Amino acid sequence: MPGRGDQVVITNRKARHDYSILESFEAGVMLKGAEVKSIRGGRANLLDAYARVDAGEVWLFGMHVSPYEFSRGDLDPVRPRKLLLHAKEIVELESALHEKGVTLVPLRVYFKDGRAKVEIAIARGRHSYDKRQALAERTATREAERAMKGYRD
Q: Is the pLDDT of residue 146 over 90?
A: no
Model pTM score: 0.78
Indicate whether 153 pLDDT > 60: no
The predicted pLDDT at position 67 comes to: 85
Which pLDDT belongs to residue 20?
86
pLDDT of residue 4: 52
Residue 92 has a pLDDT of 92
Higher pLDDT, 120 or 68: 120
Share of the chain above pLDDT 90, in %: 35
Give first-to-last CA distance, the chain, whole Å. Answer: 30
Give the DSSP letter of residue 98: T
* Statement: residue 54 has pLDDT above 60: yes
Distance in angstroms (rounded) separating the CA atoms of residues 2 and 17? 21
Q: Which pLDDT tens digit goes with each residue over 85-97?
A: 999 999 999 999 8
- Spell out the domains of the chain, with CATH numbers in brackets: 7-126 (2.40.280.10)
